[in-house]
Amino acid sequence: MYSFAQHPDFVVVDEPFYGYYLRQVKDRAVHPLDYEIQQSMATDKAEVINSLEALKQDTHVFAKSMAHHCIEDEPSHLLAWTNIILIRHPKKLIHSFSKVIPNPTLEAIGLKKAFSLYQFLKSHNAPVVVIESDELMRHPETYLTQLCAALGVPFYRAMLHWPEGGHPADGLWAPHWYANVHQSNGFLAHAPNKIILEKRLEPVLAEALPYYIALRKEVLINTY
């Protein structure tokens, strides 16, 4: 999101369906600022969709979301949009998520849902591009150039950097989830995977790996 926030032809929206997800899904962990988030934003799906549709009348809209915030099996509103599915290795995903939600489930990390959304979009010939964090970090400029080409928009080198400390579009939850990106002003250098996952989280990793492997086969490959 921070990268596309620097694109002159885009406005960005941070997780517009988060409030809807928190309001509708009861069988889940409590999130930081759970109640406050629901009070601060629209929790009606139609209202959220209408607001995004209104925004795109004047400019391109980059709506960053989480796969599991899309709770329907067949989210027809996505068929009219160009969809980007960003994945990363589930070991990294689970490790990161567990810093905020101590006992993440397969459903909570969203990888299974991301695979389901990909299948739904492909079955309807809807625009979808799958990208991967490791591919991005190999050479961000090349990868973002490829992604922009796939989206049919120009790439700008300004997308490689952003001001430290957050963005005005950040949601209320940003202090709990965005600590690393708030301390950055661009893409961090790629480092080898040295994450050691707690043993109690290994079953979630085992569940998530097949979905990651399936999506990894569809990933846009960095040509650098």
Whole-angstrom distance, CA of residue 53 vs CA of residue 32 = 29
3-state secondary structure of 1: coil
Residue 121: inside a domain: yes
**The pLDDT of residue 190 is above 70:** no
Give me the chain's average pLDDT, please.
94
Say which CATH number the domain at 57 has: 3.40.50
Overall pTM > 0.85: yes
Residue 224: inside a domain: no
**The pLDDT of residue 176 is above 90:** no
DSSP per residue over 73-99, as a string? SS-GGGGGS-EEEEE--HHHHHHHHTT
Residue 141: inside a domain: yes
Average pLDDT over residues 111-124: 98
Residue 133: inside a domain: yes
Average pLDDT over residues 63-87: 96
Residue 47: inside a domain: yes
pLDDT of residue 188: 81
DSSP per residue over 22-86, as a string? HHH--SSPPPTTHHHHHHHS---HHHHHHHHHHHTTTSEEEEE--GGG--SSS-GGGGGS-EEEE
pLDDT of residue 191: 59
Residue 221: inside a domain: no
* Range of the structural domain that residue 78 is part of: 4-216
List the structure tokens of 93.
């995903």
Evaluate whether 84 touches 202 at the Cβ level (below 8 Å).
no
HEC states along 187-199?
A: CCCCCCCCCCCCH
Closest-CA residue to 78 (of 41, 48, 107): 48
Average pLDDT over residues 80-92: 97
pLDDT of residue 36: 96
Average pLDDT over residues 32-44: 96
pLDDT of residue 39: 97
Distances in whole angstroms, Cα of residue 167 to Cα of each of 1, 69, 174, 184: 10, 21, 10, 12
pLDDT of residue 179: 82
Residue 168: inside a domain: yes
Sign, Cα dihedral of 202, 207, 208, 214: positive
**pLDDT-above-70 percentage for the chain:** 98
3-state secondary structure of 161: strand
pLDDT of residue 193: 60
Looking at the 3D structure of the chain, how many domains does it have?
A: 1
Residue 113: inside a domain: yes
Number of H helices, E strands in the chain: 11, 4
| pLDDT tens-digit map of 146-166 | 999 999 999 999 999 999 998
| pLDDT tens-digit map of 118-146 | 999 999 999 999 999 999 999 999 999 99
List the structure tokens of 29.
């962990």
Whole-angstrom distance, CA of residue 93 vs CA of residue 90 = 5
